[in-house]
Amino acid sequence: MEPTTFILFGATGDLAKRKIYPALYNLFVDNLLPQSFFLIGLGRREWSDETFQANVERSIREFSRREAEDPALLKPFLRLFRYCVLDAGRQEDYRKLLQMIEQREQELRLAPNRLFYLSVGPEFFETIAANIQESGLGSADGWKRLVIEKPFGHDLQSARDLNRKLNKAFAEHEIFRIDHYLGKPIVQKLEVLHQTDPILRELWTGRRIANVQITAGETVGVEERAGYYDHAGAVRDMFQNHMLQLLMMLAVHFPNDSADEMSRVKKRKVMEALRPLRKQDVVESVIRGQYTAGTIQGTPVTGYTSEPGIAQQSMNDTFIAAKLRIDDSFWDGVPFYIRTGKRMREKSTRIVIEFKDALMPSFAAKSGSKAPNLLVFEIGPKEGISLRFHKKDAPHTEEFEPVHVDLTANRGDVQEAYENLICDALRGDPRFFAHWDEVELSWVWVQPILEAFEDNLVPLRLYEAGSYGPAESDVLLAEDGYHWWFDTKTEQESNTKEGEPYAYHTNY
């Protein structure tokens, strides 16, 4: 890795504390930071370097996946951190910052490669990018990169406006848009797994697949984010970005694609093939929900409109489910069902591929068994990949029993999404970031849904907190003869069952 100065806007904020510092610490321990590296934290708070370092240390002790007890590691790590007071709108603060960076680059004889990380509210993205440009911070004789957090716009037009403004200071290849679902280890391994695992290669073809289900359930409610969430809803907060990115990552794996085709080109092709919805048709394939009072893991919780900061008559969506079709030869006839919501029964992000023709028709008729074979990707908080299929139980010739094969080796402590993403940004590897084409095409696809919700063309379906969403979301699948997997107690128990060891060699 090349020498790098990491310039962190929002260094005093929540995301930096919970995710960024612990990720940097673990990269440091794993020797995955550049040899020549330092970080300047920015915020309006009048902190000294010592106060900043003490805060970083606290955050690591509280949130790092590894214990931070070894002073031989912690001390040199904390010495990489400096602090500078900066108000995003004050130009003189950027000039002061430039002087500080240049001085440090000279002292350490660093090439002026600068990574600007915007861990601040989206209202500052444009101002900060413009000030980086105007102050000369971005015009040194090295590379510059902009890492930017979500949300990227609140509709198609605002996203285009923001992108145009960012492009005045940073070219597309210099912009790394974070979607932390793309940093999750299982998501990052999808392509390798598909290309190297002989069983999966054989199974993973559109003609064998009945349907694909992508679920991201949260048990939390709106928390302290009422002001933002009541204007965003599940459609902007989760669906337009994380859910569509998961769909792209899964759907790009066409078996005969040339290996050197870049992932962003393949992802764009998926979005271009996604059958568009017209505003008046949204009601047929999208379910809009909002939670009412209920019980989460034994604790009673209030309904959405009784949450602090939410208007009693709010029509905001806290749940969305949709049926999508990809019009290409590989996925022809395979429906994709996506759902995400707050205050759901379980916190879980999961992709289920349901296969056709579980049994030869003669067996199926004899046994009465309709249980299909499944490929399940547990993305978080549990991680793993498993195959579930039904095998004939020899001693009882009419019986079929479920077999659960674990395709993941026991990997122990795995890296966090932010470790993967920060490491990639430091290396300049854009594969697991959202390219503008994908962001724009996602907004294009979602825009009719936003408009249909705005005009109340889609009824708001209420669901009890602690459930799996409104009953209408089940009907969406039942119309096609399917159901959401792992919503019933029996299926959940089978899902938590330990898998049998996988005897084939896999690179995963």
Which positions are catalytic? 242
The length of the chain is 508
CB of 416 to ligand NAP, least distance (A): 12
CB of 95 to ligand NAP, least distance (A): 15
Work out whether strand 299-301 and strand 209-217 pair parallel, antiparallel, or are unpaired.
unpaired
CB of 72 to ligand NAP, least distance (A): 30
Residue from 6, 27, 37, 43 in contact with ligand NAP (CB under 6 A): 43
d(CA 175, CA 163): 10
Q: By CB under 6 A, tell whether 154 contacts ligand NAP.
A: no
Quick count: other Cβ atoms within 10 Å of Cβ 64?
Answer: 17
Q: By CB under 6 A, tell whether 483 contacts ligand NAP.
A: no
Residue from 3, 45, 302, 482 in contact with ligand NAP (CB under 6 A): 45
How many chain residues bind ligand NAP (CB under 6 A)?
A: 18
CB of 177 to ligand NAP, least distance (A): 11
Residue from 14, 62, 261, 454 in contact with ligand NAP (CB under 6 A): 14
Q: Hey, which residues between 67 and 126 contact ligand NAP (CB under 6 A)? A: 86-88, 119-122
Q: What is the DSSP letter of 150?
A: S
d(CA 327, CA 247): 14
Stretch near ligand NAP under the rule CB under 6 A, chosen from 29-37, 41-49, 239-247, 443-451? 41-49
Q: At what angle do helices 244-251 and 185-196 cross, to 10 degrees?
A: 20
CB of 225 to ligand NAP, least distance (A): 9
Q: Helix, strand, or coil here: 211?
A: strand
Q: Looking at beta carbons only, is 12 or 340 nearer to ligand NAP?
A: 12
CB of 16 to ligand NAP, least distance (A): 6
Q: Looking at beta carbons only, is 12 or 285 nearer to ligand NAP?
A: 12
CB of 178 to ligand NAP, least distance (A): 7
Q: By CB under 6 A, tell whether 150 contacts ligand NAP.
A: yes
d(CA 194, CA 508): 10
What contacts 201, CB < 8 A, 6 or more positions away? Answer: 194, 195, 255
CB of 120 to ligand NAP, least distance (A): 4
Stretch near ligand NAP under the rule CB under 6 A, chosen from 38-46, 54-62, 273-281, 313-321? 38-46
Residue from 24, 26, 101, 149 in contact with ligand NAP (CB under 6 A): 149
Q: By CB under 6 A, tell whether 15 contacts ligand NAP.
A: yes
Q: Looking at beta carbons only, is 86 or 129 nearer to ligand NAP?
A: 86
Which run of H or E residues covers position 133?
helix 125-135
Query: Looking up tokens 């004050």, which residue turns up?
Result: 90
Q: By CB under 6 A, tell whether 372 contacts ligand NAP.
A: no
Which run of H or E residues covers position 25?
helix 21-29
Q: Angle at Cα 474 formed by Cα 473 and Cα 479, nearest 5°?
A: 105
Tokens of 472: 């209408």
Q: Looking at beta carbons only, is 216 or 385 nearer to ligand NAP?
A: 216
Render the burial of 25-59: b for 16+ CB within 10 Å, e for the rest. bbbbbeebbbebbbbbbbbeeebeeeebbebbbeb
| 360 residue type, one letter | M
Stretch near ligand NAP under the rule CB under 6 A, chosen from 43-51, 241-249, 308-316, 359-367? 43-51
Q: By CB under 6 A, tell whether 44 contacts ligand NAP.
A: yes
Q: Looking at beta carbons only, is 11 or 344 nearer to ligand NAP?
A: 11
Stretch near ligand NAP under the rule CB under 6 A, chosen from 13-21, 277-285, 352-360, 404-412? 13-21
| 362 residue type, one letter | S
CB of 493 to ligand NAP, least distance (A): 32
Q: Looking at beta carbons only, is 10 or 303 nearer to ligand NAP?
A: 10
Closest CA to 104 of 49, 32, 148, 24: 49
d(CA 39, CA 51): 15
Q: Helix, strand, or coil here: 384?
A: strand
The torsion of the CA quartet 235, 237, 212, 472, rounded to 10 degrees, works out to -40
Q: By CB under 6 A, tell whether 142 contacts ligand NAP.
A: no
What contacts 422, CB < 8 A, 6 or more positions away? Answer: 20, 23, 24, 27, 147
Q: Which residue is nearest to ligand NAP (CB)?
A: 13
Tokens of 51: 């106060």
Tokens of 245: 């990115």
Give me the residues that bind ligand NAP (CB under 6 A), please.
10-15, 43-45, 86-88, 119-122, 149-150
